Amino acid sequence: MTELDAGLVGEQIAESGQIAEPTGRGEIGRARRRKEDARLLTGHTRWTDNLQQPGMVQVMFLRSPMAHARITRVDVSAAKELPGVLAAFSGRDFADEQGSLPCAWPVSEDIVIPDHPPMAVSEVRYVGEAVACVVATDRYRAADALEAVEVDYEPLPAVMDMHDALTPGSPKVHESGNKAFSTTITSGDVEAAFRDAPVVIDRTYIQQRLIPSAMEPRAVLASTDGDTFTLWSSTQIPHVLRVMLAVTTGIPEHRLRVIAPDVGGGFGSKLQVTAEEVLCLLLTRRLGRPVKWSESRSEGNLTVHHGRDQIQHIRLAAEADGRIRGLRVELLADMGAYLMLVTPGVPMLGASMFNAIYKMDAYEFACTGVFTTKMPTDAYRGAGRPEATFAIERVMDELAAELGIDPLEARRRNWIRHDEFPYTTISGLTYDSGNYEAATERAMALFGYDKLRAEQADRRDRGDPVQLGIGVSTYTEMCGLAPSRLLGMANYGAGGWEHGSVRMLPTGKVEVITGTSPHGQGHVTSWSQIAADALGVPFDDITVLHGDTAVAHKGMDTYGSRSLVIGGVAVLQACEKVKDKARKLAAHLLECSPDDLEFEAGAFKVRGTGASKTIQELAFAAFTAHDLPEGVEARLDSDATFDPDNYSFPHGTHLCAVEVDTETGMVKIRSYVAVDDVGKVINPLIVEGQVHGGIAQGVAQALFEEAVYDADGNLLTATMADYLLPSAADLPTFTTDRTETPSTGNPLGVKGVGEAGTIASTPAVVNAVVDALRPRGVRDVQMPCTPERVWRAVQGTRGGVRS
Amino acid sequence: MPRITITVDGIRYEEDVEPRLLLVHLLRERLGKTGTPIGCDTSNCGACTVMLDGRSAKSCSVLAVQADGCDVVTIEGLGADGSMHPMQRAFHEEHALQCGYCTPGMVMAAIDLLRDDPDPSEETIRHGLEGNLCRCTGYCNIVRAVKRGAQEMGQEVRTS
């Protein structure tokens, strides 16, 4: 570009009014309405299933109706003859190229990772496993053709119960047996803690199997130009997926682009490398046509990985005054039929969290992963931490009941005080910061704790058939997955860093590129707020690009409440690097030393003079590059990769009041108060929304949801008509508030909020249900606490546990 | 193959359709109206809700041939003159959407429930939206948004 051109362009840009004045700080902490909304509210969406490509065809999968069987014959010939059908294949047709779906987390030395073909070749191990596929011009034609595929099965015994599966002589899911792994962690002298302990609480809790149920069913679109491949998928992890698909399919990584367009929720269920993603790539390679797969909901209930499904045996030893001596946890964790991306890691994410916010001298955790003939389990909102929090918070209530003290008092006698942080727990984690006292005090005030206790006493005295129960949950969680060093020690297959880039455009506008992959969390808005404050540019002058490996080339994606804590910080650090470059350029143009410049409200100012250059002027100066200092490149653009030293540990106190109709078993949430401490907050509106949604999912586990298989391995909750997701009519308004104890582990002071509500709320609700019924001798109700289960507990019959 | 005439967001179409074709597939795959998504196959989730002759209907539960002669309004046709409908604005203001997948249906159901009760209580709103599932928001902000939308729609009627 000649100087004349640049001058003209410069004039045009200046006259266009596009270059904004710099702004002051003040975006962080502001309840900005979201940039994402307008498109979503007007239907200008790019869900994967919306996408069309020239020549695109549709694939559908035939799925096993048997939980466990040998495949003796697959005949796709009749399907191929039908109109509009391009191809039909069985697993045998892919056997040489489909590889094995990856497991990235071999948690122990003894782990068994069975081969997991994307399409079953010789044996099926859960209902819903793909056994054949047809490719047709549209979904109706494909559905017709599926009917024409013939498969013969030789039934094998289903393996449904974890205890039975571990019994010698049990039918085997895999030849290697039904034990996937076992591991034990011990800290302190557990024998001593339990020896002669004045109080021992010994309980077993069932974490029922859940179906994550993101509102957008999965969809995949794969295309190739013969050389390179593009895969669009409704995924949380485009970057991880690209690496894993390259390894699985043999398509070189540099010739594979993965795009997560608009993604309609995930909650962990789209943190996966799926059979359908692999098979769509193989099909487009084979057929040379773009291939789309659109999941139906009932297909998804069968084949999107499930969550939870653990049997928890927890024992707590305490002094007579309630101080905890030690804790023993034995888990059986249902892996389902195969180990998927982080299947075995999920219970291990809870391994260090059963001790929660409490001080104790000894801790033992043992976990056995068990194969069954069910859909594999994997990450679901909270992943390991809700399970741990549930068990310890339930047991703390049991401890209080045993001692005849208030459940909050039992907690006070054991929790880490605010002046004890940073605190290294019995399980070896160092909690960065917190103030459990403050959050609890605030929650009690909002809840009207004493008044509700008085009403509870009154109803008990009156023998009211509708009893009031009050449930407490004082949780913490391990957020921000994760420090790469710690992930390495845990034998995880990747790091936990995150990447951010900032591009300063000639007109002073800003492109932020993030390696996180939002699917509802509002990163575009929050990252804009971070960059606006850091760079002093207007919020509206910033765009955030994500979810495409060709645009955001480095990333570790979105799960584990990691995006802000790691990805948001990476964006901040990239902004700081932009300013470092801009400072050198400003000093050169203003003919001063960089040290004489102060950056304020988007401009570098020479101390003591009126001379200044705005960040936008400097971006343009870098673009024209007419007058750059020696050794300075013609750009301010910068990248940063952030890897924290530690996790962050948000916490909070959730209080739930339920009315339990002892005659019908119906549970109604009367009030729910959540006071969360998630450190510093970028956007309080978004934080509150995350808490609301999190609580709803945790309440749903407590009261409504359960994936049910019959003895033969058929999923009985395969549709939304059978699997009870709460509607607006099933949930109350939640009262939320925050305390704010900044994290000490990152410059933003943030902790993460995506999973907090789900982790906290399940035990709060179940504690409330049990609290209502405790005078009637009930000490547990298995989740979900349906009217039938509650009624049976009251009647002292099957389904509830009486003391 | 039956031929149907259908108006969608103000455009009239004549289409030859298989009798089994669902309205939602006609909208999405024939007419390119992908603003209306599909969330289930048992008519539980309500994501595909559109206005069919002025009342909300789950377009996964209507055959295209049943919509012959009907006027359909989708989320794409809700605003006028490039501006959003008051209910869409209310959802934005109250942060009543996160992933946004349920949003088109939720907005349609919200507008429809105001036809029966222009000033609904929280309970009325919650029951009125029972057929629309959201997995992200816990519904708190959706309820707030419907209240706000109701107020603004009421005011628009009064001022017009």
Residue-by-residue DSSP string for B46-102: -TTEEEETTEEEETTSSBGGGGTT-EEE-GGGSSBTTB--HHHHHHHHTT--SS-SS
With an 8 Å Cβ cutoff, are B39 and A267 in contact?
A: no
**Residues B95, B138 contacting (CB under 8 angstroms):** no
Cα–Cα distance for residue pair A234/A280, rounded to 1 Å: 13
- B20 and B68 together in one domain: yes
Domain boundary, last residue among B42, B77, B112: B77
Q: Assess whether the region A3-30+497-642 and the region A307-481+646-802 belong to the same CATH fold.
A: yes
Confidence at residue B82, expressed as pLDDT on a 0 to 100 scale: 85
Cα–Cα distance for residue pair A152/A213, rounded to 1 Å: 31
Q: Which residues of B touch A213 (CB under 8 A)?
A: 135
Q: What is the CATH number of the domain that holds B125?
A: 1.10.150.120
Q: Provide the token pair at A522.
A: 């509002």
Cα–Cα distance for residue pair B37/A44, rounded to 1 Å: 11
Q: Provide the token pair at B137.
A: 């928001």
pLDDT band per the 50, 70, 90 thresholds, residue B81: confident
What's the complex ipTM? 0.98
Cα–Cα distance for residue pair A235/A566, rounded to 1 Å: 19
B29: closest chain A residue by CA: A50
The residue extents of the domains of chain A are: 3-30+497-642, 55-156+218-294, 307-481+646-802
Q: Which residues of B touch A47 (CB under 8 A)?
A: 34, 37, 101
Phi-psi region of A510 (alpha: psi -120 to 50; beta: other; left: phi over 0): beta
Residue closest to A447 by CA, chosen among A739, A691, A656, A730: A656
Domain boundary, last residue among B47, B77, B107: B77
Cβ-in-10-Å burial (0-12, 13-18, 19+) of A143 comes to middle
Question: Under DSSP, is residue A726 helix (H, G, I), strand (E, B) or coil?
Answer: coil
Q: Is B59 on the interface with A (CB under 8 A)?
A: no
- Out of A45, A50, A721, name the one closest to residue B42 (CB): A721
Question: Under DSSP, is residue A34 helix (H, G, I), strand (E, B) or coil?
Answer: coil
**Residues B64, B103 contacting (CB under 8 angstroms):** no
Distance of CA B121 to the CA centre of its chain: 21
Mutate to test the interface with B, among A50, A215, A303 (most CBs of B within 10 A): A215
Residue with tokens 């997991």: A116
Is the previous residue joined to A763 through a cis bond, with omega within 30 degrees of 0? no
pLDDT in tens, A621-673: 999 999 999 989 999 999 999 999 999 999 999 999 999 999 999 999 999 99
Q: Is B69 on the interface with A (CB under 8 A)?
A: no
B86: closest chain A residue by CA: A41
Element (H, E) at A146: helix A139-146
Cα–Cα distance for residue pair A779/A310, rounded to 1 Å: 20
- B98 and B126 together in one domain: yes
Cα–Cα distance for residue pair A488/A105, rounded to 1 Å: 10
- Out of A262, A296, A688, name the one closest to residue B41 (CB): A296
- Please name the residues between 94 and 153 in chain B that touch chain A, using a CB distance below 8 Å: 95, 97-104, 107, 122, 125-127, 129-143
Residue with tokens 């959706």: B142
Task: Identify the CATH number of the domain defined by range A3-30+497-642.
Answer: 3.30.365.10
- C-alpha angle with apex A702: A389 to A181, nearest 5 degrees? 50
- B51 and B107 together in one domain: no
Element (H, E) at A299: helix A297-303
Mutate to test the interface with A, among B8, B24, B33, B136 (most CBs of A within 10 A): B136
Distance of CA B135 to the CA centre of its chain: 17
Cα–Cα distance for residue pair B89/B95, rounded to 1 Å: 10
Give the bridge partners for A70, in sequence order. A123, A154
Report in angstroms the alpha-carbon separations of A586 from A142, A593, A615, B128: 63, 9, 9, 59
Q: Which domain, by its residues, includes B120?
A: 86-159
- B100 and B71 together in one domain: no
Backbone angles phi, psi at A319, to 5 degrees: -75, 170
**Residues A800, A778 contacting (CB under 8 angstroms):** yes
Q: Provide the token pair at A227.
A: 């050389």
Residue closest to B47 by CA, chosen among A720, A211, A235: A720
The one-letter amino acid code at A353 reads: M
Cα–Cα distance for residue pair A145/A162, rounded to 1 Å: 38
Min Cα separation A383/chain B (Å): 17
**Strand A291-294 with A57-63, pairing:** parallel
- B31 and B91 together in one domain: no
- Please name the residues between 31 and 50 in chain A that touch chain B, using a CB distance below 8 Å: 33-34, 36-45, 47, 49-50
Report in angstroms the alpha-carbon separations of B71 from A151, A550, A678, B9, B77: 45, 42, 48, 8, 11
Cα–Cα distance for residue pair A119/A136, rounded to 1 Å: 18
- Out of A50, A696, A720, name the one closest to residue B139 (CB): A696
- Please name the residues between 145 and 184 in chain A that touch chain B, using a CB distance below 8 Å: none
- B51 and B92 together in one domain: no
- B69 and B109 together in one domain: no
Least confident of A118-132, B64-78, B144-158: B144-158
B140: closest chain A residue by CA: A733
B84: closest chain A residue by CA: A42
Min Cα separation B158/chain A (Å): 25
Question: Under DSSP, is residue A294 helix (H, G, I), strand (E, B) or coil?
Answer: strand
Distance of CA B21 to the CA centre of its chain: 20
With an 8 Å Cβ cutoff, are A49 and B18 in contact?
A: no
- C-alpha angle with apex A101: A349 to A486, nearest 5 degrees? 30
Cα–Cα distance for residue pair B15/B17, rounded to 1 Å: 6
What pTM was computed for the model? 0.96
Q: Provide the token pair at B121.
A: 């209580």
Number of domains in chain B: 2
Low-confidence ranges of chain A (pLDDT < 50): 1-6, 798, 803
**Residues A520, B99 contacting (CB under 8 angstroms):** yes
Question: Under DSSP, is residue A447 helix (H, G, I), strand (E, B) or coil?
Answer: helix
Architecture of domain A55-156+218-294: Alpha-Beta Complex (3.90)
**Strand A291-294 with A219-224, pairing:** antiparallel
With an 8 Å Cβ cutoff, are B45 and A215 in contact?
A: yes
Helices (H), A473-594: 484-489, 523-535, 569-590
With an 8 Å Cβ cutoff, are A40 and B76 in contact?
A: no
Chain A / chain B CB contacts < 8 angstroms:
183
Helices (H), A463-568: 484-489, 523-535
A723: closest chain B residue by CA: B44
Mutate to test the interface with A, among B31, B140, B147 (most CBs of A within 10 A): B140
- B56 and B104 together in one domain: no
**Residues A674, A760 contacting (CB under 8 angstroms):** yes
With an 8 Å Cβ cutoff, are B135 and A213 in contact?
A: yes
With an 8 Å Cβ cutoff, are A693 and B98 in contact?
A: yes
Question: Under DSSP, is residue A539 helix (H, G, I), strand (E, B) or coil?
Answer: helix
Distance of CA A542 to the CA centre of its chain: 27
- Out of A42, A213, A214, name the one closest to residue B84 (CB): A42
**Strand A466-476 with A430-431, pairing:** unpaired
Q: Which residues of B touch A43 (CB under 8 A)?
A: 33-36, 74-76, 104
Cβ-in-10-Å burial (0-12, 13-18, 19+) of A441 comes to middle
Residue closest to B64 by CA, chosen among B129, B13, B124: B13
Residue closest to A549 by CA, chosen among A598, A602, A615, A499: A499
- B73 and B10 together in one domain: yes
Cβ-in-10-Å burial (0-12, 13-18, 19+) of A223 comes to buried
Cα–Cα distance for residue pair A623/A365, rounded to 1 Å: 58
pLDDT in tens, B18-57: 999 999 999 999 999 999 999 999 999 999 999 999 999 9
Q: What is the CATH number of the domain that holds B60?
A: 3.10.20.30
Cα–Cα distance for residue pair A71/A151, rounded to 1 Å: 7
Q: Is B49 on the interface with A (CB under 8 A)?
A: no
Domain boundary, last residue among B53, B77, B101: B77
Q: Which residues of B touch A696 (CB under 8 A)?
A: 137-139
- B43 and B67 together in one domain: yes
Q: Is A755 on the interface with B (CB under 8 A)?
A: no
Confidence at residue A803, expressed as pLDDT on a 0 to 100 scale: 46
Mutate to test the interface with A, among B33, B135, B143 (most CBs of A within 10 A): B135
- Please name the residues between 663 and 722 in chain A that touch chain B, using a CB distance below 8 Å: 685-686, 688-689, 692-697, 719-721
pLDDT band per the 50, 70, 90 thresholds, residue B160: low
Report in angstroms the alpha-carbon separations of B91 from A42, A443, B22, B95, B108: 11, 28, 28, 6, 12
Mutate to test the interface with A, among B99, B126, B141, B148 (most CBs of A within 10 A): B99
Report in angstroms the alpha-carbon separations of A408 from A169, A411, A467: 47, 5, 20
**Strand B71-73 with B3-8, pairing:** parallel
Q: What strands, in cross-sheet order, belong to the sheet with A307-318?
A: A179-187, A362-371, A324-336, A307-318, A199-210
Q: Provide the token pair at A779.
A: 């000490």
A51: closest chain B residue by CA: B34
Cα–Cα distance for residue pair A8/A44, rounded to 1 Å: 36
Rg for chain B, CA atoms, rounded: 16
Q: Which residues of B touch A56 (CB under 8 A)?
A: none
Task: Identify the CATH number of the domain defined by range A307-481+646-802.
Answer: 3.30.365.10
Phi-psi region of B17 (alpha: psi -120 to 50; beta: other; left: phi over 0): beta
- Please count the CA atoms within 13 angstroms of the CA of A274 that sit on its side-chain side: 30
- Out of B79, B95, B139, name the one closest to residue A34 (CB): B95
Confidence at residue A183, expressed as pLDDT on a 0 to 100 scale: 97
Min Cα separation A734/chain B (Å): 7
